[in-house]
A and B are shown apart, each in its own frame.
Chain A
Amino acid sequence: MAKIKYIEYNGKEHIVEVQNGLTVMEGAIQNDIPGIDADCGGGMSCATCHVYVKEDWYDKLPKKEMGEDDMLDQAYEPNSNSRLSCQIMVSDDLDGLTVHMPEKQV
């Protein structure tokens, strides 16, 4: 279980507890947090669960797998802090993680 903070583009914060084994994307969808679309349902086949993770957490997350950066090329305003939230698996280690949502997903 990890407490995760989702921050919308307009600054609105949502803090929710997400079960281990879910992804950060699923944590947002199941709690009706706006700002993450996840059109493909978590298959790394779209780029609509794009989030920014600040450096302090970015380096602690499991590294990107092959294909995630290719998908991020097709996201809205990606940068070097970008991740696909469907590829971040929640565990106790992620307690306190903060992710920022982009202005829009599509």
Chain B
Amino acid sequence: MTHSALSRVRPARFSRGAGSIGRFLIALLRSPQSAAGTVIVLFFLALALFGAQIAPYRANDQSNPPRHPPTAAPLERLRRVWDDPGRLFETETYRPGPYPFGTDTLGRDVFSRVILGTSSIFRVAGFGTLIAVVIGTFLGLFAGYQGGLVDEIITRVFDALLAMPALLLALVILGIIRNVETEPGSFQAALADNAVLLVIALVYVPIVARVVRSSTLEVKTRAFVQAAQIRGESWGYILFREIFPSVIPALVVEASLRFSYAIFLVASLGFLGVAARPPSPDWGLMVNENRGGYYQLAPWALEYPAAAIALLVIGVNLMSDGIRRAVQRSE
């Protein structure tokens, strides 16, 4: 029939090997939206890695006087050119001043703080998602393949966790952890320092596990899994060698989606004041510190970190949308 005839002219399916990763990237960059999303994410990733070298000031350097307005805002430049069109050709117009995004009410450079905040959001959201994916994959594979009582218990526990809104669950857990006294340098202290990261992992484990489990249920009925059982393979071999590769496409899509939600969750927790503590340059915290009365005095100190959060979340979303389509295309 038509389908089998067509499939032979299409490139071979997405399987392992360098060639397939190249094809995946081409498929990812195919649509302008996902290409834009990928560029945005890579841009922020570069800021996260090299932020300390790029930022002109340290996080808590203070200007005098504070609340210096932005010196390189596009609107500001437009206004100058509007007033005197002749300045359009002056390089001076395009050279940023000392505080491109202005300074906040304590005189700290917003530009530097936004750049320096990137690494923490990537670290917390990224590693939190990674841990959730690893644990969720393991539990999902295990519950799906084993079935029976084990599956019943694991899925019911996850259902209970999923019944609570992620933000609320995170708030409760952080509230408890924050009140525990720890000795500096101890294991508990290390845990407490990374509390947000662990909370992200905990909140997203059930979601990842559920996706992996449903893929596993579908794959385990296929004949190649039964062929492995007939050879007397151990369950570890069947789970990771036979079933896991078929789960990867669904997992990649879910992981990218989780990452975008994790960024949002970290920012929300920062805003609510339960994640990073002042004076650390956390985006959510910056929004919180500069709202209220200060917003009238220095709106830029709130607007730039808020814009950064929005841009990164949109970027990750567009990219994960592209990943989903690229995976479907190669399926």
B partners with A: no
